[in-house]
Structure 1
Amino acid sequence: MSRTFIQVAFCCSFSPSTSPCPSPPLFTKLAIAMTLFFLVTVAVLSVIPLHVSDHFFIFFQPCLTTNPSPSSAPIVTFHRNLKSLSPSCLYPATLSALPSAAQFSDLSIDNSTNIFLSALSFSLDSLCPLISRPARPSAIQWLINALCDRRTKLQAAEQRWHKSKTCVGLDVYKELFSTFLSAVSSAKTTFFHNKIQPAIKKTIQTLHHFSCILCPLLPPSPSFLILNDFALFFRDKVKAIIDKFSTSPCPVCTGLPCKVTFSEFKLLSETEISDLLISHRATTCLLDLIPLTLLKTNFPQLSTFISKIINSLLSSGCFPSAVKTALISPLLKKPSLDPKSVQNYRPVSLLPSLSKTVERVACDQLSEFLTRNHLCDGYQSQFKVSHSTKTLLLAASHALRVARVASLSSDVILLYLFAAFDTVNHQILLSSLSQLGIKGTVLRWLETYLSDRSNQVVWRAPRSSPLSLSTGLLQGSVLGPLLFRNCTSSLGPVIASYGFNYHCFADDNQLFLSFPPGRSDISDHISACLLELSAWVSDHHLQLNLSKTEILNLPAGLSFCYGQTGQLTHFANLLG
Structure 2
Amino acid sequence: MLDLILTRGLSLHSCEDFDAGISDHCSVLFEPAVPYVQPILSQPVCSSRGFYSTTALDFSKFYSNFFTNSEVSLLPDMTTDQLVLIFNSTYSTALNTVAPLKPKKQKARSSPQPWLNASTRALRQECRRAERRWRKDGLQVSYKILKDSLTTYQKSVSTAKSQYFSNLIAMNANRPKVIFKTINSVLNPATCSAPVGNLETCPEFLGFFVQKVQDIRFHLTPPDMVHSHGISPINFTSFKPMTPSQFSALISKMKFTQCQSNVLPGRLIREVLDTISPALLTIINSSLTSGIFPESFKHASVQPLLKRSHFDPSVLSNYRPISKLPFISKV
TM-score, normalised to structure 2's length?
0.67
Aligned to 1:88: 57
Q: Take 1:265 and 1:201, find their aligned partners in 2: how far apart are those partners?
A: 44
Note the C-alpha offset of 1:280.
1.9
Aligned partner (choices 207, 213, 226) of residue 238 of structure 1: 213
The Cα RMSD (Å) is: 4.6
1:101 equivalenced with 2:72 (yes/no)? yes
Note the C-alpha offset of 1:194.
0.2
Compared with structure 1, are the counterparts of its residues 80 and 298 closer, same or farther at alpha carbon in structure 2 (3 Å cutoff)? same
Q: Take 2:320 and 2:112, find their aligned partners in 1: how far apart are those partners?
A: 27
Q: Take 1:223 and 1:297, find their aligned partners in 2: how far apart are those partners?
A: 30
Q: Take 1:132 and 1:188, find their aligned partners in 2: how far apart are those partners?
A: 30
Q: Kindly indicate whether the alpha-carbon contact (under 8 Å) linking 2:205 and 2:316 is maintained by their aligned counterparts in 1.
A: yes
Aligned to 1:279: 253
**Equivalences for residues 205-244 of structure 1 within 5 A:** 206-220=179-193, 222=195, 226-243=201-218
Q: Deviations over 1:470-506 (max 9, x none)?
A: xxxxxxxxxxxxxxxxxxxxxxxxxxxxxxxxxxxxx
Aligned to 1:255: 229
1:138 equivalenced with 2:107 (yes/no)? no
1:111 equivalenced with 2:85 (yes/no)? no
- The residue identity in structure 1 corresponding to 2:214 is K
Larger radius of gyration, structure 1 or 2?
1
Greater length-normalized contact order (CA 8 Å, ≥ 6 residues apart): 2
Aligned to 1:194: 163
Which structure 1 residue ranges, 5 or more long, are not aligned? 19-26, 31-35, 41-64, 154-175, 358-576
**Equivalences for residues 40-55 of structure 1 within 5 A:** none
1:16 equivalenced with 2:17 (yes/no)? no
Compared with structure 1, are the counterparts of its residues 28 and 214 closer, same or farther at alpha carbon in structure 2 (3 Å cutoff)? closer
Q: Take 1:38 and 1:223, find their aligned partners in 2: how far apart are those partners?
A: 36
1:322 equivalenced with 2:296 (yes/no)? yes
Aligned to 1:78: 47
Compared with structure 1, are the counterparts of its residues 73 and 344 closer, same or farther at alpha carbon in structure 2 (3 Å cutoff)? farther
Q: Kindly indicate whether the alpha-carbon contact (under 8 Å) linking 2:80 and 2:287 is maintained by their aligned counterparts in 1.
A: yes
Compared with structure 1, are the counterparts of its residues 240 and 296 closer, same or farther at alpha carbon in structure 2 (3 Å cutoff)? same
**Equivalences for residues 402-413 of structure 1 within 5 A:** none
Q: Take 2:63 and 2:88, find their aligned partners in 1: how far apart are those partners?
A: 10
Task: Identify, as 1 or 2, the structure richer in helix.
Answer: 2
- The residue identity in structure 2 corresponding to 1:238 is V
Q: Kindly indicate whether the alpha-carbon contact (under 8 Å) linking 1:285 and 1:352 is maintained by their aligned counterparts in 2.
A: yes
**Equivalences for residues 406-445 of structure 1 within 5 A:** none
Compared with structure 1, are the counterparts of its residues 138 and 67 closer, same or farther at alpha carbon in structure 2 (3 Å cutoff)? closer
Q: Kindly indicate whether the alpha-carbon contact (under 8 Å) linking 1:338 and 1:344 is maintained by their aligned counterparts in 2.
A: yes
- The residue identity in structure 2 corresponding to 1:129 is P
Q: Kindly indicate whether the alpha-carbon contact (under 8 Å) linking 1:91 and 1:301 is maintained by their aligned counterparts in 2.
A: yes
Q: Deviations over 1:88-137 (max 9, x none)?
A: 33234334256533301211111111111111011110121012212345
Q: Take 1:201 and 1:17, find their aligned partners in 2: how far apart are those partners?
A: 66
Q: Deviations over 1:233-277 (max 9, x none)?
A: 21222223335679x964745233538654333321122112222
